[in-house]
A and B are shown apart, each in its own frame.
Chain A
Amino acid sequence: MTSINLAALQQEGYTEVATLPEVLADRPMHYCPGCHHGIAHRLVAEALEELGQVERTICVSSIGCSVFIYNYMHLDTVEAPHGRAAAVATGVKRARPDAFVFTYQGDGDLASIGLAESMHCANRGEKLSIVFINNTVYGMTGGQMAPTTLPGQKTTTSPGGRCASTEGLPLKMAEIMAGLGGVAYSARVATTSLKRIVEAKKAIKAAFQCQIDGRGFGFVELLSACPTNWRMTPLQANERVEKELIPYFPLGVFKDDANDPACSVSGGDS
Chain B
Amino acid sequence: MTASRKFLKGNEAVVYGALAAGCRCYFGYPITPQNDIPELMSSEMVKVGGQFVQAESEVGAANMLLGAAACGVRAFTSSSSPGVSLMQEAISYMAGSELPGVIVNMARGGPGLGDIGSSQGDYFQAVKGGGHGDYRCYVLAPATCQEAYDHMIEAFDVAYAWRVPVLVLGDAILGQMKEPVTTWTPDVNADAGKDWRLEGASGRPERLLKSLFLEDGALAGHNAKLQTRYRDMQPLSRLETVGVDDAELVIVAFGTIGRIARSAASQLRKQGHKVGVARPVTLFPFPVAQLQALAVPGRRFLTIEQNCGQMVEDVRLALAGKAEVAFHGHLPGNLPNPDEFIQPILDALAAKA
> Nearest chain-A residue to B64 (Cβ)?
A91
Residue in contact with A77 in the complex, picked from B61, B75, B206, CB distance below 8 Å: B206
Interface residue? B209 (CB, 8 A): yes
Interface string of A45-80 (1 = CB under 8 A from B): 000000000111110110000010010011111111
Interchain nearest-CB distance for A104 vs B (Å): 14
| Bound-state Cα–Cα, A262 to B25, Å | 31
Across-interface contacts of B46 in A (CB, < 8 A): 270
Binding site for B on A (CB under 8 A): 54-58, 60-61, 67, 70, 73-81, 84, 87-96, 99-100, 116-117, 120, 124, 270
Task: Decide yes or no whether B53 CB sits under 8 A from chain A.
Answer: yes
* In the bound complex, CA of A270 to CA of B25 (Å): 12
Q: Which of A56, A87, A120 contacts B67 (CB 8 A)?
A: A87
Residue among B24, B25, B71 with most chain A CB within 10 A? B71
A116 x B201 contact (CB < 8 A)? no
Question: Is A90 within 8 A of B64, CB to CB?
Answer: yes
Residue of A nearest to B99 (CB): A78
Sample 19 A-B pairs with CB under 8 A, ordered by A number.
A55-B200, A55-B202, A70-B206, A75-B206, A76-B208, A77-B198, A77-B208, A78-B70, A78-B210, A79-B212, A80-B67, A81-B93, A88-B66, A91-B63, A91-B71, A92-B198, A94-B64, A95-B71, A99-B199
Query: Bound complex: CA of A225 vs CA of B210, how far in Å?
Result: 27
A73 to B201, CA, bound (A): 11
Q: Which residues of B contact A92 (CB under 8 A)?
A: 67-68, 70-71, 198
In the complex, chain B residues whose CB is within 8 Å of the CB of A100: 200
B227-239, CB under 8 A of A: which get 1 and which 0? Answer: 0000000000000
| Complex contacts, A77 vs chain B, CB 8 Å | 198, 206-210
Which of chain A's residues have a CB closer than 8 A to the CB of B70? 58, 78, 88, 91-92
B60 touches A60 (CB 8 A): no
Residues in chain A near residue B153, CB distance under 8 A: none
B56: which of A55, A60, A79, A117 is its contact (CB, 8 Å)? A117
Residues of B within 8 Å of A81, CB to CB, are 63, 66, 89-90, 93
On chain B, the residues within 8 Å of A73 by CB distance are 206
Residues of A within 8 A of B66 (CB): 78, 80-81, 84, 87-88, 91
CB B81 to nearest CB in A, in angstroms, measures 21
Q: A75-B201, A76-B201, A99-B199 are known contacts. Are A67 and B212 too (CB-CB below 8 A)?
A: yes
Output the least CB separation between B211 and chain A (Å).
Answer: 6
B277, chain A: closest CB distance, angstroms: 40
Query: For B25, B201, B203, which residue has the most chain A Cβ atoms within 10 angstroms?
Result: B201
Complex contact A95–B25 (CB within 8 A): yes
Q: Which of B24, B67, B68 contacts A60 (CB 8 A)?
A: B67
* B319 contacts partner chain A, Cβ-Cβ < 8 Å: no
Determine the chain A residues whose CB is within 8 A of the CB of B212 once the complex forms.
67, 79
What residues on B are CB-neighbors of A90 within 8 Å?
53, 60, 64, 67
> Within 8 Å CB of B183, what residues of A?
none
Determine whether the beta carbon of A87 is less than 8 Å from that of B206. Answer: no
Query: Are the C-beta atoms of A79 and B209 separated by less than 8 Å?
Result: yes
Known contacts A67-B212, A77-B208, A81-B90; is-contact A96 B64 (Cβ 8 Å): no
Chain A nearest Cβ from B212, distance in angstroms: 6
Q: Which of B49, B53, B90, B199 contacts A84 (CB 8 A)?
A: B90
Would you call B63 and A80 a contact (CB within 8 A)?
yes
Tell yes or no: B297 within 8 A of A by CB: no
Cβ-defined partner of B59 (8 Å) among A74, A75, A78, A84: A84
Minimum CB–CB distance from B71 to chain A (whole Å) comes to: 4
**Is the CB of B65 closer than 8 A to any CB of chain A?**
yes
Given A73-B206, A78-B66, 6 more A-B residue pairs with CB atoms under 8 Å apart are A55-B202, A55-B203, A70-B208, A78-B210, A79-B209, A117-B63
Instruction: Give A71's nearest chain B residue, CB to CB.
Output: B208
* B205–chain A nearest beta-carbon distance, Å: 7
Interface digits, B191-221 against A, CB 8 Å rule (1 contact, 0 not)?
0000000111111011111111000000000
A89-B67, A120-B60 given; A78·B90 CB < 8 A: no
Return chain B residues, CB-CB under 8 Å to A91.
25, 27, 63-71, 75
Asked whether any CB of chain A lies closer than 8 Å to the CB of B168, the reply is no
- Supposing A90-B67, A91-B68 touch, asked if A117 and B201 sit within 8 A by C-beta, the answer is no
Please measure, in the bound complex, the distance between the C-alpha atom of A81 and the C-alpha atom of B71, giving whole angstroms: 16
Contact A270 B51 (CB under 8 A): yes
Give Cα A92–Cα B61 distance, bound, in whole angstroms: 12
Question: Once the chains are docked, how many angstroms separate the CA of A70 from the CA of B212?
Answer: 12
- Write the nearest CB–CB distance from B39 to chain A, whole angstroms: 18
Contact A116 B56 (CB under 8 A): yes
Shortest CB-to-CB span from B215 to chain A, Å, is 11
Shortest CB distance A170–B (Å):
23
Indicate if the CB atoms of B97 and A87 lie closer than 8 Å: no
Contact across chains for B200 and A58 when beta carbons are under 8 A apart: yes
